[in-house]
Structures are given as structure tokens and as C-alpha cells.
């Protein structure tokens, strides 16, 4: 369920282990939100700081902030989400990615096992 | 956390559970938007067993409720229901209620889950001098809501097989409703899935629908039977968007102790001509002066929905004039809708206002409530 090749923040973002990392929210987070109806993402060229908010995800029920898992500069955002924000629910680790960031610093990130432990009901 | 008799059923169906008013309840089973559309186009199945149910019985039951509540319950016919409110002496709303008259001296008061203990206590306080008995009614409450719900209920009846065999499925609906003899805001004893129930036709989604009051022991049998008849389980998430589209107030949002029924546009439910009732003096004053703020519908064109607590601004002065009480992207209408309290001068349909959506100014237009009304059947 939780892809082994990705890294995770405690705020339920995932990112790839690349110089230009792809960032999304986890299936666990997407599931908790319910049906996503709108996504507000940072603009290309914007600078993100790990742990700080850089966007919003709106579901029928509520609005949640998107936190950046790393410091860096946004180089691309997922334009497909403008027309089909539900991709975040249907394919959170694939077509539902949020943005790509040229990473300058990644603070604490979790591997899949540690993230699985974080979201397990016992924790 | 309290669990309803259907908890295991919800778990087996893979429901996303949430805690609500001290209960563990299904938030949604899959997609909340899909569940919303199901209720608008077919039939949704809800577990509402967390709602408060209070029985008021006794020789003075009717006159007691006339005194304790905003409406005139004594004129409600046996087998009928009334939407009413429990108000504070200040006129503020303590809860909105559906009250069914089960017999001349027997009423069933249905309260919001979070308010049920308070409603029970307040009724007890007001009961001094009346020959009434106020008790908690147990059991489960299941609702079927949506244009197909009559059909779903109908096929539960003992004669449903014959009706369908002789009349064909298309007319089964009309036949069965007739045989039920259950008007809107009515309640009757009935058998659903072979179980003795109280069957009511009220609802909180803007659709035709039925509520089934049954024993905890029968709840799972009835639920499964209705599901087999084509009703789709639906959770609290879509219930909120459905009632918002239908312009129905929710306690804690549109209705609070700081608002009277007149503020909420529901002044007609207050029987001002009753001799005496709790809150009479305050409510008569508000009725005479008019409320300082009124509940209005707002629509916005953007994609970000106004939400509860967002400020409503005068587009000319930029000043804060009111506050959003509920808001969401409307699945049926395809754009955000919201309810808000604003001064009457800003409440006319067509008025242009602005909502501060988390720091962004969104243009809004006042519209008449409800946002959505089902087509006549």
C-alpha cells in the first residue's frame, strides 16, 4: 500500500529521492480528506520551506493546507489537477502528484516502514 | 465513544468512521460526492441512530409541549409531525426538533445528537405542574432518502411481491405509497423487512424519504434488506452537503442560542398567539422589531468555497457585515454555496457581497434559499 521507493513527511506528503523531487500527498491523507474538489498549488519559481504551508487542498467537507516536505524551488506543478482534482483520491502516488521541486535541503523524512508506523492505529 | 447497533455492519462495508457528538458514525463508505449524487438520483441509506429520541406521554403532553416549544403541538393530528424548536427564555434556539404525535397523549421528540441530553433536561425543567412523563426512547433509526426511496420502502411491504407481479415495477411505487397512506410529515406503524417499525416521511436532504424507527435487534435486518432493494449506504459527509443545498439549517451553524427562529428565516414556526410559552416575551419582541441579521444564501463563482466562520464584507466599504455559517462546493450545482447571517439591508436576492475566503476576496451574490429544490413528482 505504501510505496517503498518514496520518502514521507510527518505531514503526510510523499517525495521522490531525486535532485528534482516529485511531491504529493499520501493515500492515507487523501483518504482522510474525502473527495478533493480543488487544489491551490504554489507557482513555478516559488521557493518552499520544509514544514511550511505552500498550498491548499479543498474537499467537499473541508480545506487542508499543503505543507512542503523540503526546501527548494518549484519547477513544475501538476496542471492536470486543475481539471481533475479527484486524481489525488484515485491515484495519489501517480497522476495525482502535486508539484516538482529542485531540492536544496530535506530535513527529517521517513522511509515507508517508519511512515507506516506513524499512521498505524496503535501509534 | 458510543456505537450504534449497525456499527459492525458499517465496519464490514468499509465505512470511514468519524466521531460525532460522542458517537462513532460513518462519515462515508467510499466517495462522499458519489453518495451525494445517489441521494439526488436514486436512494441513499443512512444510520441516524445517534439522534436523540425522547418520548413525552401523559394527560398534559400536548399542552406541555405547547408551553415548552416554539410551535403549537396540540393541533398536530395523530400520525403527523411538526418541525419546531426548543428556545431559551431569551428566544435563542437551543435545538431544532421534529415532533411526531403518536397518540393523543403520546409524542416522540427527535433532537440533534449533541443536544439530546440538554433537550431532555430542559423539557424536564419545564414540566413542573404538567402531568407528563419524559423518557428516553431507545432503538435504532434508519433513513432512506432519495427519489427512489418510496420504491425501496415499498418493496419491503408484505404485499410488494403481488404489487410488482400484477402491476409491473413502474407502478409499484405509486401503488405502495397509496397503500402506505403516509403523507409528507406523517408517521405510521408499518412492517419493513418483516419487522414492526414506526415509519415516518420527513427527511433532511431535500428529497422524498423515510425514517424507520426500529428496535436495535432488527436494525441490521432492515438495513440489509433496504440495501438489497437498491438503497446505497451514505454517510454524514454527504448528509451535510445535501442539507446545505436544501437550505436546511444545522444546529451549531445556522441555529445557535444567539439566534432566534426569526433570524434563521423560520419565524413561521413560532406560534406567537399561544397564551404563554418559553421565550414568548423575547420572541414577540424580535417578531415586532425584526431580526438584526437574517440568514441568506450566497453563491460564488470561484472554486474555493466560503466556509463556516468566514467574514462577509460590504463590497463598497470593505467592512465586515456578517459571517458565513456553512459553505461547501455544491455537488449538484457545480459551484460553491454558503449560508450566512447579514443585516436585512444586504439580504435581498441579487445583492453583491464579498466573502473573505482565507485572505482572498471572493465575489458572492445573495440568492433565495433553498439552493436546490427537487422537481415535483
Burial of B296 (0-12, 13-18, 19+ CB in 10 A): buried
Confidence of residue B5 (pLDDT cuts 50, 70, 90): very high
The confidence score (pLDDT) of residue A121 equals 78
The confidence score (pLDDT) of residue A107 equals 83
pLDDT of B125 > 90? The answer is: yes
Rounded to whole angstroms, the Cα distance separating B126 from B65 reads 9
The confidence score (pLDDT) of residue A123 equals 54
- Of A43-52, B2-11, B191-200, the one with minimum mean pLDDT is B191-200
Answer yes or no: are the C-beta atoms of A28 and A9 closer than 8 Å.
no
pLDDT of A108 > 70? The answer is: yes
Confidence of residue B157 (pLDDT cuts 50, 70, 90): low
Q: Which three cell numbers stand for residue B365?
A: 451574490
Chain position carrying cell 433537550: B119
For residue B332, the 8-state DSSP code is T
Rounded to whole angstroms, the Cα distance separating B242 from B41 reads 12
- Of B13-17, B119-123, B150-154, B287-291, the one with minimum mean pLDDT is B150-154
Rounded to whole angstroms, the Cα distance separating B98 from B202 reads 9
Query: How large is the average pLDDT for residues A14-25?
Result: 96
Rounded to whole angstroms, the Cα distance separating B69 from B189 reads 25
pLDDT of B160 > 70? The answer is: no
pLDDT of B158 > 80? The answer is: no
Count of CB atoms within 10 A of residue B7's CB? 20
* Percent residues over pLDDT 70 in chain B: 93
Query: How large is the average pLDDT for residues A58-63?
Result: 90
* Residues found in chain A: 123
Rounded to whole angstroms, the Cα distance separating B75 from B332 reads 37
Query: How large is the average pLDDT for residues B145-155?
Result: 83
The confidence score (pLDDT) of residue B178 equals 46
Q: In the A/B pair of chains, how many CB contacts fall below 8 A?
A: 44
Confidence of residue B220 (pLDDT cuts 50, 70, 90): very high
Backbone conformation region of residue B50, classed left if phi is above 0, alpha if psi is from -120 to 50, else beta: alpha
For B350-360, write each residue's pLDDT tens digit.
Answer: 999 999 999 99
The confidence score (pLDDT) of residue B156 equals 61
Q: Determine whether the interchain pair A37/B303 forms a contact, defined as Cβ–Cβ distance below 8 Å.
A: yes
Q: Determine whether the interchain pair A62/B307 forms a contact, defined as Cβ–Cβ distance below 8 Å.
A: yes
The interface pTM score, or ipTM, of the predicted complex is 0.82
pLDDT of A69 > 90? The answer is: yes
Of A31, A38, A60, the CB nearest to B241: A60
Rounded to whole angstroms, the Cα distance separating B322 from B220 reads 45
Q: Which three cell numbers stand for residue B151?
A: 420504491
Where exactly are the structural domains of chain A? 7-101
The confidence score (pLDDT) of residue B135 equals 97
Residues of A in contact with B242 (CB under 8 A): none
Q: Determine whether the interchain pair A58/B32 forms a contact, defined as Cβ–Cβ distance below 8 Å.
A: no
Answer yes or no: are the C-beta atoms of B321 and B309 closer than 8 Å.
no
**CA distances (Å), B327 to each of B310, B336, B337, B345, in order?**
9, 7, 6, 22
* Percent residues over pLDDT 70 in chain A: 98
Of B33, B303, B358, the CB nearest to A38: B303
Beta bridge partners of A24: A14
In chain A, which residue's Cα lies nearest the Cα of B337? A60
In chain A, which residue's Cα lies nearest the Cα of B28? A34
For B178-195, write each residue's pLDDT tens digit.
Answer: 456 788 999 998 888 888
Query: How large is the average pLDDT for residues B313-340?
Result: 97
> Are β-strands B320-329 and B93-103 bridged in parallel, bridged antiparallel, or unpaired?
unpaired
Query: How large is the average pLDDT for residues B144-150?
Result: 90
The confidence score (pLDDT) of residue B182 equals 84
CATH T-level topology, domain A7-101 = OB fold (Dihydrolipoamide Acetyltransferase, E2P) (2.40.50)
**CA distances (Å), A44 to each of A25, A48, A77, B166, B309, in order?**
19, 11, 7, 66, 31
- Chosen for mutation from B300, B303, B355 (greatest number of chain A CBs closer than 10 Å) is B303
The confidence score (pLDDT) of residue B154 equals 72
A90 at interface of B, judged by CB pairs closer than 8 A: no
Backbone conformation region of residue B203, classed left if phi is above 0, alpha if psi is from -120 to 50, else beta: left
For residue B267, the 8-state DSSP code is G
Burial of B135 (0-12, 13-18, 19+ CB in 10 A): exposed
The confidence score (pLDDT) of residue B237 equals 96
Question: Residues 3-62, chain A: which have Cβ within 8 Å of B?
Answer: 31, 34-35, 37-38, 40, 56, 58-62
Rounded to whole angstroms, the Cα distance separating B68 from B80 reads 19
Average pLDDT value over all residues in chain B? 92
Closest CA to B150 of B95, B86, B271, B231: B231
pLDDT of B148 > 90? The answer is: no
Confidence of residue B137 (pLDDT cuts 50, 70, 90): very high
Q: Determine whether the interchain pair B307/A40 forms a contact, defined as Cβ–Cβ distance below 8 Å.
A: no
B36 at interface of A, judged by CB pairs closer than 8 A: yes
Residues of A in contact with B310 (CB under 8 A): none
Burial of A5 (0-12, 13-18, 19+ CB in 10 A): exposed
Confidence of residue B175 (pLDDT cuts 50, 70, 90): very low
- Chosen for mutation from B11, B328, B335 (greatest number of chain A CBs closer than 10 Å) is B328
For B255-282, write each residue's pLDDT tens digit.
Answer: 999 999 999 999 999 999 999 999 999 9
Amino acid at each position: 500500500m505504501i510505496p517503498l521507493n518514496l520518502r514521507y513527511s510527518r505531514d503526510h506528503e510523499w517525495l521522490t529521492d531525486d535532485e528534482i523531487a516529485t511531491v504529493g500527498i499520501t493515500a492515507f491523507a487523501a483518504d482522510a480528506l474525502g473527495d478533493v474538489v480543488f487544489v491551490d498549488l504554489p507557482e513555478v519559481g516559488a521557493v518552499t520551506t520544509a514544514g511550511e504551508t505552500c498550498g491548499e487542498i479543498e474537499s467537499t467537507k473541508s480545506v487542508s493546507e499543503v505543507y512542503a516536505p523540503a526546501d527548494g524551488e518549484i519547477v513544475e506543478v501538476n496542471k492536470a489537477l486543475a481539471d481533475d482534482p479527484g486524481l489525488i483520491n484515485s491515484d495519489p502516488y501517480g497522476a495525482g502528484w502535486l508539484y516538482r521541486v529542485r531540492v536544496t535541503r530535506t530535513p527529517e523524512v521517513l522511509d515507508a516502514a517508519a511512515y507506516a508506523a506513524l499512521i498505524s492505529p496503535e501509534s | 465513544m458510543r456505537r450504534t447497533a449497525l456499527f459492525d455492519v458499517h465496519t464490514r462495508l468499509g465505512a470511514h468512521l468519524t466521531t460525532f457528538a460522542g458517537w462513532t458514525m460513518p462519515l462515508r463508505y467510499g466517495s462522499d460526492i458519489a453518495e451525494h449524487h445517489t441521494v439526488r438520483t436514486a436512494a441513499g441509506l443512512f444510520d441516524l441512530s445517534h439522534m436523540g429520541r425522547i418520548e413525552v406521554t401523559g394527560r398534559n403532553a400536548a399542552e406541555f409541549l405547547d408551553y415548552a416549544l416554539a410551535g403549537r403541538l396540540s393541533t398536530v393530528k395523530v400520525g403527523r409531525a411538526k418541525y419546531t424548536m426548543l428556545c431559551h427564555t431569551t428566544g435563542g434556539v437551543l435545538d431544532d426538533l421534529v415532533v411526531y404525535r403518536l397518540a393523543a397523549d403520546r409524542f416522540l421528540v427527535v433532537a440533534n445528537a449533541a443536544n439530546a441530553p440538554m433537550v431532555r433536561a430542559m423539557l424536564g425543567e419545564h414540566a413542573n405542574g404538567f402531568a407528563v412523563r419524559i423518557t428516553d426512547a431507545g432503538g435504532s433509526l434508519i433513513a432512506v432518502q432519495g427519489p427512489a426511496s418510496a420504491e425501496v420502502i415499498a418493496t419491503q411491504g408484505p404485499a410488494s411481491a403481488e404489487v410488482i407481479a400484477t402491476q409491473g415495477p413502474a407502478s409499484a411505487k405509486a401503488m405502495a405509497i397509496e397503500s402506505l397512506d403516509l403523507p409528507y410529515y406523517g408517521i405510521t406503524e408499518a412492517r419493513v423487512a418483516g419487522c414492526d417499525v414506526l415509519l415516518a416521511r420527513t427527511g433532511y436532504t431535500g428529497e422524498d424519504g423515510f425514517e424507520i424507527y426500529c428496535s436495535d435487534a432488527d436494525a441490521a435486518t432492515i438495513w440489509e434488506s433496504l440495501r438489497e432493494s437498491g438503497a446505497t449506504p451514505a454517510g454524514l459527509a454527504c448528509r451535510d452537503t445535501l442539507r446545505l443545498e436544501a437550505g436546511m439549517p444545522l444546529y451549531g451553524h445556522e441555529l445557535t442560542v444567539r439566534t432566534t427562529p426569526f433570524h434563521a428565516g423560520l419565524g413561521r414556526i413560532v406560534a406567537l398567539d399561544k397564551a404563554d410559552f418559553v421565550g414568548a416575551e423575547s420572541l414577540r419582541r424580535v417578531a415586532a422589531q425584526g431580526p438584526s441579521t437574517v440568514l441568506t444564501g450566497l453563491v460564488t463563482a470561484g472554486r474555493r468555497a466560503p466556509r463556516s466562520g468566514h467574514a462577509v464584507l460590504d463590497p463598497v466599504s470593505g467592512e465586515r457585515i456578517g459571517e458565513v455559517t456553512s459553505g461547501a462546493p455544491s455537488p449538484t450545482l457545480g459551484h460553491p454555496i454558503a449560508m450566512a447571517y447579514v443585516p436585512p439591508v444586504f439580504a435581498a436576492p441579487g445583492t453583491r457581497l464579498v466573502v473573505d475566503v482565507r485572505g482572498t476576496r471572493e465575489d458572492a451574490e445573495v440568492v433565495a434559499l433553498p439552493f436546490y429544490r427537487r422537481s415535483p413528482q
